[in-house]
């Protein structure tokens, strides 16, 4: 599984599969999968990571001590 690290605002980091894309608008973000579906909409502040919408099968973990969010999903082979 090849992951890519994305630097976010306020020192946060998102780790996700390299085929996934992240788009930003200030402190708001969307994560797009390899089929161009939105997996997650979220915002970050200095102390918070807030998911405002997500796909039903999204799996992720938050590591607050390192301000890191790791997406555990991997793309299905086509």
| Extents of the domains making up the chain | 3-71
Is residue 1's pLDDT more than 70?
no
- Residues 12-40 have pLDDT tens digits of 999 999 999 999 999 999 999 999 999 99
Is residue 8's pLDDT more than 90?
yes
> How far is 78 from 62, CA to CA, in rounded Å?
29
Q: What is the pTM of this model?
A: 0.92
- Residues 36-52 have pLDDT tens digits of 999 999 999 999 999 99
Contacts of 73 by beta carbon, 8 Å cutoff, 6+ apart: 16, 17, 33, 39, 57, 58, 59, 60
């Amino acid at each position: 599984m090849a992951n890519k690290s994305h630097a976010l605002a306020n020192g946060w980091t998102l780790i996700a599969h390299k085929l996934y894309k992240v788009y930003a608008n200030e402190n708001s973000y969307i994560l797009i999968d390899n089929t161009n579906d939105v997996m997650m909409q979220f915002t970050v502040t200095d102390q918070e990571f807030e998911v405002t919408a997500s796909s039903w099968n999204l799996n992720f973990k938050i590591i607050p001590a390192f301000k890191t969010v790791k997406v555990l999903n991997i793309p299905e082979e086509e």
